[in-house]
């Protein structure tokens, strides 16, 4: 397995684990508080919809000329990665609340309990919440797996990494019947942001005819450079947050 293939597998696996953990929390909340059968029907419907999206987009992507594919998909991956990285930096810098699966589970459960009586047969609330949660989180999984896979001309490898992540999270979730709060989700999101940004930069550049010094080996410099830069921004945010006077100390000073 080449270095870029290892990068592909690791990035897709971590990204899909994070998304699967978030989807699991939603499904567990509506399944436990309302109806497991309806929640699982929603998950099944979401999987069918995602399979249809993948079947429609996958062949279209792989049919594109490699330069166009890398420019467009590399660019999209870079935009997507920068959004992930921006949020991760803001979370790590204390400007955005950390993602908390226990809190998300409590919120979803409370909303599910307040959504009226559970209907006979298929419970519409449980079905649609499970469908929406699984579909939206799954769409990110499909996007990441397809962009990584098609750029690397190895969609099956990306799909296998994505499927492995979903299976592992589903199996642990089925065993525990509780949100996976111990998964270091925020650190994983930071890592995914770094990987998406790095691969997006590399492939986007190749797509617009930039010649990276060292070819594929340039990724070995881009990934640590992006990581160090992002960590530097986090350190700067924390330092300025610590140096800024708090509203309480302002009030004391002006009193």
- The count of chain residues that interact with another protein, using the rule CB under 8 A, is 38
146 touches another protein (CB under 8 A)? no
83 touches another protein (CB under 8 A)? yes
Q: Scan for tokens 């908390």, then name that residue.
A: 100
69 touches another protein (CB under 8 A)? no
Query: Which parts of 191-250 interact with another protein (CB under 8 A)?
Result: 197, 201, 204-205, 207-213, 218, 222, 225-226, 229-230, 233, 237, 240
| Cα gap 255→242, rounded to integer Å | 22
Q: Which is nearer to another protein, 36 or 229 (CB)?
A: 229
Helices 101-113 and 3-33: crossing angle in degrees, nearest 10, is 30
Listed residue (157, 128, 162, 160) closest to 142, CA to CA:
162
Query: Which parts of 14-43 interact with another protein (CB under 8 A)?
Result: none
80 touches another protein (CB under 8 A)? yes
| Cα gap 124→121, rounded to integer Å | 9
Cβ neighbours around 191 below 10 Å, total: 20
Q: Which is nearer to another protein, 83 or 102 (CB)?
A: 83
Contacts of 139 (CB under 8 A, 6+ apart): 50, 53
Out of 9, 89, 165, 195, the only residue in the binding site for another protein (CB under 8 A) is 89
Tell me the C-alpha to C-alpha distance, in Å, between residue 74 and each of 55, 62, 205. 20, 14, 8
| Cα gap 197→226, rounded to integer Å | 8
Q: Which is nearer to another protein, 83 or 110 (CB)?
A: 83
Cβ neighbours around 55 below 10 Å, total: 10
78 touches another protein (CB under 8 A)? yes
Q: Which is nearer to another protein, 88 or 158 (CB)?
A: 88
Q: Which is nearer to another protein, 35 or 201 (CB)?
A: 201
Among 58-66, 88-96, 118-126, 145-153, the segment contacting another protein (CB under 8 A) = 88-96
Helices 185-207 and 3-33: crossing angle in degrees, nearest 10, is 140
76 touches another protein (CB under 8 A)? yes
95 touches another protein (CB under 8 A)? yes
With b for 16 or more beta-carbon neighbours within 10 A and e for fewer, the 119-143 pattern comes to eeeebbbbbebbbebbbebbbbbbb
Q: Which is nearer to another protein, 9 or 99 (CB)?
A: 99
Q: Which is nearer to another protein, 37 or 238 (CB)?
A: 238
Smallest separation, CB 117 to another protein (Å): 26
Give residues in contact with another protein (CB under 8 A).
71, 75-76, 78-80, 82-83, 85-87, 89-90, 93, 95, 139-140, 143, 197, 201, 204-205, 207-213, 218, 222, 225-226, 229-230, 233, 237, 240
């Amino acid at each position: 397995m080449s270095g870029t293939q290892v990068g592909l597998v690791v990035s897709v696996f971590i990204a899909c684990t994070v998304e699967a953990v978030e989807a699991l929390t939603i499904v567990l909340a509506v399944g436990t508080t309302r109806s497991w059968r309806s929640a699982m029907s929603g998950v099944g419907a979401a999987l069918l919809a995602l399979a249809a999206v993948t079947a429609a987009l996958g062949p279209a992507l792989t049919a594109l000329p490699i330069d166009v594919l890398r420019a467009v998909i590399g660019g999209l991956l870079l935009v997507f990665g920068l959004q992930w990285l921006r949020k991760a930096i803001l979370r790590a810098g204390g400007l955005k609340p950390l993602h908390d699966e226990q809190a998300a589970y409590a919120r979803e459960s409370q909303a599910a309990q307040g959504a009226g009586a559970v209907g006979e047969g298929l419970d519409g609330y449980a079905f649609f919440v499970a469908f929406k949660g699984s579909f939206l989180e799954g769409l990110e999984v499909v996007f990441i797996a397809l962009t990584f896979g098609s750029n690397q001309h190895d969609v099956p490898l990306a799909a296998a990494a994505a499927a492995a992540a979903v299976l592992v999270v589903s199996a642990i979730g089925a065993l525990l019947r509780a949100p996976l709060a111990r998964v270091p989700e925020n650190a994983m999101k930071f890592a995914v942001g770094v990987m998406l940004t790095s691969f997006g930069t590399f492939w986007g550049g190749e797509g617009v005819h930039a010649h990276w010094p060292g070819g594929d080996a340039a990724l070995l410099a881009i990934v640590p450079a992006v990581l160090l830069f992002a960590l530097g921004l986090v350190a700067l945010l924390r330092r300025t947050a610590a140096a800024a006077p708090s509203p309480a100390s302002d009030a004391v000073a002006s009193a």
